[in-house]
Amino acid sequence: MSLTGTPVFVAAAALTAAAVVLPLVLWSRVRGPAVVRGVTRCLMVVFAQATAIALVFIGINRTENFYASWDDLMGTGDYVTAANDLGPDGLGGRKIDAQPKVRQEFTPVAELGGRVQRTELDGKISGVKGEVFVWLPPQYDDPAWKDKKFPVVELIPGMPGTGKSWFQGLKVHETLEPLMKSGQIQPFVLVSPRTMLLGNTDTGCANIPGKVNADTWLSVDVRKMVTDNFRVAGEARSWAVAGYSAGAYCSAKLAIAHPDRYTAALSLSGYNDPGQEPASLVAQDPELRRTHNLVALLKAAPTPPPVSLWISGAQADGYTAGQELQQAAKQPTLVHAEKVTGGHNIETWVRQLPQTFTWLSAQLRTG
pLDDT digit string, tens, across residues 47-90: 767 776 776 766 655 555 555 555 555 455 678 999 999 999 99
Among the residue ranges 12-26, 162-176, 273-287, 342-356, the one predicted with the least confidence is 12-26
Q: What is the mean pLDDT of residues 10-35?
A: 71
Residues belonging to the chain: 367
Radius of gyration of the chain (CA): 23
Q: What letter represents residue 135's amino acid?
A: W
Whether the predicted pLDDT of 224 surpasses 60: yes
Compute the distance between CA of residue 320 and CA of residue 161 in angstroms, rounded to an integer: 24
pTM for the whole thing?
0.86
Contact 181, 80 (CB under 8 A): no
3-state secondary structure of 135: strand
The partner residues of 207 in beta bridges, in order of sequence, read: 213
Q: In the chain, at which residue ranges do the beta strands (DSSP E only) sit?
A: 107-108, 116-122, 129-135, 152-156, 189-193, 207-208, 212-213, 239-244, 264-268, 308-313, 334-339
Which pLDDT does position 113 carry in this prediction?
82
Q: What is the mean pLDDT of the chain?
A: 89
Contact 267, 275 (CB under 8 A): no
Got the DSSP string for 207-260? EETTTEEHHHIIIIIHHHHHHHHSSB--SGGGEEEEEETHHHHHHHHHHHH-TT
| pLDDT above 70 as % of the chain | 87
Which pLDDT does position 367 carry in this prediction?
66
Whether the predicted pLDDT of 207 surpasses 60: yes
Which pLDDT does position 40 carry in this prediction?
77
Compute the distance between CA of residue 152 and CA of residue 140 in angstroms, rounded to an integer: 12
3-state secondary structure of 83: coil
3-state secondary structure of 314: strand
Contact 48, 23 (CB under 8 A): yes
The partner residues of 312 in beta bridges, in order of sequence, read: 268, 338
Contact 361, 186 (CB under 8 A): yes
Whether the predicted pLDDT of 1 surpasses 70: no
Whether the predicted pLDDT of 137 surpasses 70: yes
Which pLDDT does position 335 carry in this prediction?
98
Which pLDDT does position 80 carry in this prediction?
93
Contacts of 26 by beta carbon, 8 Å cutoff, 6+ apart? 44
Contact 61, 160 (CB under 8 A): no
Compute the distance between CA of residue 51 and CA of residue 244 in angstroms, rounded to an integer: 31
Contact 108, 116 (CB under 8 A): yes
What angle (nearest 5°) sits at the alpha carbon of residue 67, between those of residues 64 and 69? Answer: 130
Contacts of 34 by beta carbon, 8 Å cutoff, 6+ apart? none
**pLDDT band at 130; cut points 50, 70, 90:** very high
Among the residue ranges 29-43, 169-183, 256-270, 275-289, the one predicted with the least confidence is 29-43
Q: What is the mean pLDDT of residues 199-212?
A: 94
Which pLDDT does position 45 carry in this prediction?
76
Counting Cα atoms < 13 Å in the Cβ hemisphere of 153 gives 30
